[in-house]
Amino acid sequence: MEDPCYLLHLVTDRALAGGRPLVEVVREAVAGGVTCVQLREKECSTREFLHEARLLIELLKPLGVPLLINDRVDIALAVGADGVHLGQTDMPISYARQLGPPEWIVGVSAESIEDAIRAEEEGADYIGVSPVFSTPTKRDTSPPLGLEGLRRIRAAVRTPLVAIGGIHCGNGRDVILAGADGLAVVSAIVSAASPRTAAASLRLVISGEF
């Protein structure tokens, strides 16, 4: 997929969906303006993960919205996803590139300037700066970087930055002004009564119209 839009990433978490099918939450979020979806499943079997990924690829392909798979290169290959998002302990970028098609989007999480510089040197398409603020949705992270930490990373690399961690309509604009090219959110959309409205509001925040 050419020129993927990093403006608003939805990172999924079925536990926060209030019992709603994940595919319906994603459908509404995309209708509201989500530009990229990252399927993150830490607590399910490989078959369950595959099932969710297949449902999402069927939804998103016709809409031209990229689907990235968190951590699991095998799942991404199996369903024909648009790419993967890798953490610092996951498969190195070079190996993921060897396995995936040339057009794959490969994003990498960075919790420090050193992580970000290494991700850029290794050819990441975007860098997920994490966490900017404290967040209950992911507990195995470093202390929050804050806006100043984000600014330092922005000054150190030219690769697109997608910020994640405790981001919502109340602080999203500050994150963009600190140097992020886009926002990645979990609960701000997945837990919202209306994922469509939540996504639309975040798009306004990103554009400075909110």
Active site residues: 40, 109, 138
Distance CA 205, CA 194 (A): 17
Alpha helices for the chain (secondary structure H): 22-32, 46-60, 73-79, 93-99, 113-121, 146-156, 172-177, 187-190, 195-207
Cβ count within 10 A of residue 194: 13
Q: Write b or e for each residue in 105-115: b if 16 or more Cβ atoms lie within 10 A of its Cβ, otherwise e.
A: bbbbbbbbeeb
